[in-house]
Amino acid sequence: MTVVIQNTAGNGARIDLLLIAAMVEPNTRVLDVGCGEGLLLEMLRDEKNCDARGIELSRDGVSRGVARGLAIIQGDADTDLADYPDDSFDYVILSQTIQATRNPRKVLEHMLRVGRRAIVSFPNFGHWRIRSHLMFKGGMPVTDNLPDAWYDTPNIHFCTIRDFVALCDEIGAVMERSVALNAGGKAALRAPWWFWNLFGEQAVFVLRRKG
């Protein structure tokens, strides 16, 4: 089965954001960690009637988001998630941010504590193009998805899909859904892990606590 995700809105929204938005039930409470200026928050608020809130590190992103009427806090995923009580959200979302956190494991644990579900998307460092870049060019990969040189990038904790799955196992997170996307935005076939890990450019996981 192949799921094709199309950007029907035609607004240039990032494909993983559309996918995440589709995974969120209407009328729920959502925290988007690393929300930028709030593109996903706005989608969730306007189209799904969610109580959508965000945390964003960049002052600029926060200002622009709050000026558009969104509830965004200038803060840091690594330190600020600890302040939220257990189960205060239905979903805690971390899109394209986990690789930029100082302590991805702690962040993920807090997400699973604060939210009933965690949705995580990240660039897969196991993708064949990245592997071949490293193998044949011998330098840190620079791609359309990951355009920064190693000394400029905020991404300090890259991982592969396989690595991420291992982390989920280690902290006792249950994977409810997992989707890999290739460059065309197509979700990969139902295929074994090694296939995803090689051909998925991005991955999106829906997680919950065990038990």
Q: Does 80 bind other proteins (CB under 8 A)?
A: yes
Q: Does 171 bind other proteins (CB under 8 A)?
A: no
Query: Smaller CB distance to other proteins: residue 35 or 146?
Result: 35
Half-sphere exposure of 105 (CA within 13 A, CB side): 7
Q: Cα angle vertex 184, ends 180, 185, to 5°?
A: 45
Taking CA atoms, 211 is separated from 87, 116, 172, 174, in Å, by: 14, 11, 9, 9
Residue 78 to residue 105: CA distance in whole angstroms:
10
**Binder to other proteins among 25, 47, 83, 148 (CB under 8 A)?**
83
Contacts (CB under 8 A) with other proteins, residues 38-57: 51, 53
Region binding other proteins by CB under 8 A among candidate stretches 16-24, 74-82, 132-140, 184-192? 74-82
**Binder to other proteins among 10, 85, 138, 192 (CB under 8 A)?**
85
**Binder to other proteins among 70, 120, 159, 161 (CB under 8 A)?**
70
Q: Residue 191 in 3-state DSSP?
A: coil
Nearest Cα to 46, choosing from 13, 16, 78, 87?
13
**Binder to other proteins among 14, 23, 75, 140 (CB under 8 A)?**
75
**Binder to other proteins among 5, 66, 142, 167 (CB under 8 A)?**
66
Q: Does 90 bind other proteins (CB under 8 A)?
A: no
CB of 92 to other proteins, least distance (A): 13
Residue 129 to residue 147: CA distance in whole angstroms:
13
* Counts of helices then strands in the chain (DSSP H, E): 8, 7
**Binder to other proteins among 15, 17, 18, 62 (CB under 8 A)?**
62
CB of 80 to other proteins, least distance (A): 7
Residue 99 to residue 78: CA distance in whole angstroms:
12
CB of 116 to other proteins, least distance (A): 14
Query: Smaller CB distance to other proteins: residue 68 or 137?
Result: 68
Helices (H), 134-211: 161-170, 193-199
Q: Does 163 bind other proteins (CB under 8 A)?
A: no
Q: Are 75 and 49 a contacting pair, CB within 8 Å?
A: no
* Residues near other proteins (CB under 8 A): 51, 53, 59, 62-63, 66-75, 80, 83-85, 88
